[in-house]
A and B are shown apart, each in its own frame.
Chain A
Amino acid sequence: MNRVIGAALDRTDGVQKVTGGARYAAEFALPGLCHAVIVQSTIARGRVAALDASRAAHAPGVLLVMTHENAPRLPQGGRAGVNPPAGRVLTLLQDADVHYNGQPIAVVVADTFEQAQAAADLVRATYAADAATLDFDAARATAYPPAKLLQGPVDLHRGHFDTGYAAADVRIDATYTTPMQHHNPMEPHATIAHWQDGTLTLHDATQYVSGVRETIAKVLGIDAAKVRVISPFVGGGFGCKGSMWSHVALAAMCARAVDRPVKLVLARWQMFGPAGGRPRTEQRIALGATRDGTLTAIRHAVISHTSAIEDFVEPSSVPTRMLYACPNANTTQRLVKLDVGTPTFQRAPGEATGTFAFEVAMDELAYALAMDPVELRMRNHADADPQDGKPWTSKHLLECYDSAATRFGWRNRDPLPGSMRTRDAWVGYGMATATYPAHRQAAQASARLWTDGTFIVASGSQELGTGTYTVMTQVAAQSLGVPPASVRFLLGDTALPRAPVSGGSTTAASVAPAVKAACDALRARILAAVVRDPQSAHYGVAPSELAIDDGRIVAADGRSESLAAFAGRRGVPLDAAAESKPGDEKTTYAAHSFGAVFAEVRIDPWIGRIRIPRIVGTYDVGTRLNARTALSQLRGGIVWGVGLALTEESLLDLATGHFANASLAEYHVPVNADIGELDVTFVDFPDTRFNPLGIRGIGEIGITGVAAAIDNAVFHACGVRVRDLPITVDKYLPQARA
Chain B
Amino acid sequence: MRAFDYVAATRVDDAVAMLGAGTRCLAGGTNLVDLMKGGIEAPSRIVDINRLPLDAIEATPDGGLRVGALVRNSDLANDMRVRRDYPLLSLALLAGATPQLRNMASVGGNLLQRTRCYYFADTAFPACNKRAPGSGCGARAGHNRIHAVLGASEACVAVHPSDMCVALAALDATVVARSRRGERRIAMTAFHRLPGDTPWQDTELADDELVTAVELPPPRYRRHVQYLKLRDRASYAFALVSAAVALDVEGGRVASARIALGGVAHKPWRATDAERALAGQAAGATAFDDAGRRALAGAVPLRDNAFKIGLGERAVSRALTLAMERSVS
Contacts and interface: CB of A to CB of B under 8 A. Distances in A.
Contacts of B121: 663, 666
Contact of A653 (B138, B234, B314): B138
B142 interface: yes
Interface string B300-329: 000000010011001101100000000000
A729 B304 CA distance: 12
A74 to B, nearest CB: 27
Given A658-B125, A660-B118, A730 B145 contact: yes
A666 B233 CA distance: 11
A655 B232 contact: no
Given A655-B141, A656-B125, A607 B318 contact: yes
B56 interface: no
Given A607-B315, A665-B116, A734 B125 contact: no
A653 B125 contact: yes
B230 A673 contact: no
A471 to B, nearest CB: 32
B1 A609 contact: no
Contacts of B142: 653-655, 660
B310 A734 contact: yes
Contacts of B232: 647, 668, 728-729
Interface string B220-254: 00000000101011111110100000000000000
Nearest to B228: A607
B2 interface: yes
Contact of A118 (B3, B126, B315): B3
In this complex, the member of B3, B233, B238 whose beta carbon has the largest number of chain A beta carbons within 10 angstroms is: B233
B307 A734 contact: yes
Given A114-B1, A668-B232, A606 B145 contact: no
Given A653-B118, A653-B143, A733-B311, 10 more contacts: A607-B228, A607-B230, A647-B232, A656-B126, A658-B124, A672-B235, A673-B233, A730-B145, A730-B311, A737-B310
A647 B311 CA distance: 18
Provide the main secondary structure of the chain B interface.
loop
B122 A662 contact: yes
Interface in B110-153: 116, 118-119, 121-122, 124-127, 138, 141-143, 145
Interface of B: 1-3, 38-39, 116, 118-119, 121-122, 124-127, 138, 141-143, 145, 228, 230, 232-238, 240, 307, 310-311, 314-315, 317-318
Nearest to A675: B234
A608 B124 contact: no
A671 interface: yes
A655 B141 CA distance: 8
A455 B228 CA distance: 59
12 contacts: A101-B124, A608-B230, A608-B311, A651-B118, A653-B119, A656-B126, A660-B125, A668-B233, A671-B234, A672-B235, A730-B307, A734-B310
In this complex, the member of B116, B118, B315 whose beta carbon has the largest number of chain A beta carbons within 10 angstroms is: B118
A231 B110 CA distance: 41
B279 to A, nearest CB: 24
A660 B230 contact: no
B235 A671 contact: yes
A227 B38 CA distance: 35
Given A646-B233, A674-B234, A656 B124 contact: yes
Contacts of B228: 607
A294 B310 CA distance: 43
Contacts of A655: 127, 138, 141-142
A608 B236 CA distance: 18
Given A666-B116, A729-B307, A606 B318 contact: yes
Contacts of B310: 733-734, 737
B311 A118 contact: no
Interface string A507-529: 00000000000000000000000
A269 B39 CA distance: 13
A661 interface: yes
A733 B143 CA distance: 20
Contacts of A121: 1-2, 39
Contact of A269 (B122, B233, B236): B122
10 interchain residue pairs of minimum CB distance: A673-B234, A730-B307, A660-B118, A673-B235, A651-B143, A674-B234, A660-B143, A658-B124, A671-B235, A668-B233
B126 A42 contact: yes
Nearest to A673: B234
A713 to B, nearest CB: 17
B124 A733 contact: no
In this complex, the member of A653, A668, A670, A728 whose beta carbon has the largest number of chain B beta carbons within 10 angstroms is: A653
A658 B122 contact: yes
Contacts of A654: 142
A152 to B, nearest CB: 36
A117 B3 CA distance: 10
Contacts of A117: 1
Nearest to B136: A655
B33 to A, nearest CB: 13
A661 B230 CA distance: 19
B253 to A, nearest CB: 24
Interface string A466-503: 00000000000000000000000000000000000000
Contacts of A656: 124-126, 138
A653 B138 CA distance: 9
Interface in A636-658: 646-647, 651, 653-656, 658
A660 B234 contact: no
A662 B1 CA distance: 18
B126 A733 contact: no
A673 B236 CA distance: 9
